[in-house]
Chain A
Amino acid sequence: MTEKFPHNSIESESVEPVAEIESDVEKFGTKFAVQKLFYKLGMCGIDTRLFEPETSVDEIEKTLGEMEATDRGFTIRFSYKNALNLPRGFFKTPQECLDFIKKERKDYAIIVQEYTRLINSFELYYDGNVSYLQALAGIWEVDATEAPDIIQKKDDELTIWRFRQPREAKLINDENKFYKEKRDPFTFAQLQEFYKKLEPYKDRLEIVRKIFNPLFCHFYEDDQGRLCFINLRNVGGVPINEGSPSAFHVVKDISDIETWDGNLPVLFDVQTERDNDAPLIETIKALRDKEIKSVFVNYGILSHPAILLREAGVQVQQSYQLYEKQIISTQKDETETGKKNISVADQLEQIETGEAYKEIDPKVEQELHDPHIISLSQILEEDSSFIGGKAYNLGKIAKAGFSIPRGFVVTTRAFKRWVENTGKLDADISDQISKAFQLLRLENVAVRSSSTVEDLSQASSAGVYKTSLYFRRD
């Protein structure tokens, strides 16, 4: 029997998914059933045709002829129960497709899609409470151990962990051959855009989650910005996404487990091959034997190794070693696309710093050294007991060639006279201070105390040490 799928997707309300999907999974396999569900929900994005095992070759031929595709060609996948690694192919013409189908179809269900250029891949996890959208440039194979970018949505907060390094994206060329291309890291703005792209699919994803909870689906974006949902995956338990320590014991293979000291958190970094899980599984077994119950990973918390770890009862957290984090409150919608192209440097110009800093003639500063007033750049070793630790350190830093803001220190000798005069400044000191202001061309100043050992023993004066800013000269 042929089920004719409508060319245009049906409205989501008309889908009665639960009963249908169960029988589809049984009859045609998960891959087909899921693709059909996405198709019916209008989530395929690209031209997609689905054929049940009984569909006649004539019918398939007719349908292929109707496809808008494309001078680029078609991709064909088969689905049968839970079978993996069924033949799949890429073909330029409908005739080539037909030949392949006739030769390989057995009793498989068939998925034919227009060939499209995949740009970015995504995985979405949602359990009704927290959602993670993971993004990766290029193709995301099931065995990918690349670290994806992660966008977490919880309550009204979007937390983005941005992968900081360029990636070698895996892509397919027009001859259907894999190649690698260097891609710059995504920006925070781009990652936020990715999340926004899911907005129109919200209700439909909820429908899918009613059947498969927690939801864990795979989709990609093509060069025309279309999203195509293609797969559901097994999550293997709930991912955790907490912070991470900065020091790890790194496990690259089974021998690294032997050398674990029992204290440092484990960074599980075993790389996998698509066709060979054995080293991965061996290492996970060894983890369990050592009773290591929780590990960090650099690759995605939804990656294949992470899933295997969770299935083995090992908790998995993202290490964020190579990430930069940003938290965005989503309560108010901040769209600022118009400003996006302005560089950060330009934006920083908006922060006023006033007129250019005036350099002072070193000769002038040399004059500023007497028992009461000392320019910060003129502090000598023997001044140390009269100027306090803070000023002494600043003097030393200035002498070593670092930039410090120009200024002077009023010594403890002057301070003592001020205290003895019950808070009245002697005229000579007052004149010296005015002169220092003039010579150093000080305008807005920060006034801070610089305490000596003597002061430190007097706890009661603690409040005096507080730095006060913004004294205007006068």
Chain B
Amino acid sequence: MAIIVQEMINARISGVLFTCNPLNRDTGESEFVINATFGLGEPLVSGKVSGDTFIIDKEKRLIKESTITQKNSMLTKDGEVSVPESIKSVSALNNSQIDQLVQIGKEIEELFGAPQDIEFAIAHDKIWILQSRSITKSGS
């Protein structure tokens, strides 16, 4: 085993990007799915919060479906805190961020030659890639 030691990104927004839609067998390969929330990504990855969901048409780069949930709490480096009232129901990602993510997703998918499950964080006006792994055919 090896150990990775990496500087913590105190993310404003965190999320997961799938470069295929595991929920839809018919159109899965033509869609990206992004799941995002405020703060660090741990509660999202562990399934503690559902976050916002975006289904994107890969070819047309269009958002086909977006589900914005009420994000009451978020994880920060200081622990769990309340999301400021006025942004609780605001989309975690704006269109330009989604667009950048789609571009990143396409490139990383090409880099590894397989659909990817990518964890990302947004802070300091930058999208950080925290992890990427290939999705196996049976769904990961």
Tell me the A residues contacting B by CB distance below 8 Å. Answer: 164, 188, 244-247, 264, 320-321, 323-329, 334, 336, 339-340, 342, 344, 347-348, 350-354, 356-357, 376, 386-391, 393-394, 396-397, 400, 402-412, 415, 433, 436-437, 440, 442-452, 455, 461, 464, 469-471
CB–CB A407/B7 < 8 A: yes
Report which of B2, B26, B123, B127 forms a contact with A452, defined as CB distance below 8 A: B2
Q: How large is the interface on B (under 10, 10 to 19, 20 to 34, 35 or more residues)?
A: 35 or more
Tell me the B residues contacting A by CB distance below 8 Å. Answer: 1-13, 21, 24, 26-27, 31, 38-40, 42, 55, 63-70, 74, 76-78, 84-87, 89-91, 94, 104, 107-108, 111-112, 123-124, 126-133
Q: With the chains together, A248 CA to B5 CA distance in Å? A: 46
CB-CB under 8 A from A412, the residues of chain B are 1-2
CB–CB B111/A326 < 8 A: no
Closest-by-CB residue of B relative to A410 is: B3
CB–CB B111/A397 < 8 A: yes
Closest-by-CB residue of B relative to A347 is: B87
In the complex, how many angstroms separate the beta carbon of B10 from the nearest chain A beta carbon?
Answer: 4
CB–CB B5/A264 < 8 A: no
Q: With the chains together, A357 CA to B26 CA distance in Å? A: 42
CB–CB B26/A247 < 8 A: yes
Known: A339-B85, A412-B2, A445-B5. 15 other contacts (CB 8 A): A244-B65, A246-B24, A246-B27, A247-B26, A325-B66, A326-B68, A353-B10, A353-B12, A397-B108, A402-B129, A443-B8, A444-B77, A448-B3, A448-B6, A452-B2
CB–CB A340/B3 < 8 A: no
Report which of A357, A387, A407 forms a contact with B5, defined as CB distance below 8 A: A407
Q: With the chains together, A376 CA to B7 CA distance in Å? A: 11
Q: With the chains together, A354 CA to B1 CA distance in Å? A: 32
Closest-by-CB residue of A relative to B92 is: A348
CB-CB under 8 A from A327, the residues of chain B are 69-70
CB-CB under 8 A from B24, the residues of chain A are 245-247
Q: With the chains together, A397 CA to B127 CA distance in Å? A: 13
With A324-B68, A348-B12, A389-B133 as given contacts, are A442 and B7 in contact (CB-CB < 8 Å)?
yes
CB-CB under 8 A from A471, the residues of chain B are 5
Main secondary structure of the interface of A (DSSP, over half): mixed
CB–CB A436/B5 < 8 A: yes
CB-CB under 8 A from A347, the residues of chain B are 84, 86-87, 90
CB–CB B69/A326 < 8 A: yes
In the complex, how many angstroms separate the beta carbon of B105 from the nearest chain A beta carbon?
Answer: 11
CB-CB under 8 A from B108, the residues of chain A are 397, 400, 402
Mind listing 12 A-B residue pairs with CB under 8 Å? A324-B91, A325-B67, A326-B89, A340-B86, A342-B86, A352-B76, A388-B2, A397-B111, A412-B2, A415-B1, A469-B8, A469-B40
CB-CB under 8 A from B67, the residues of chain A are 324-325
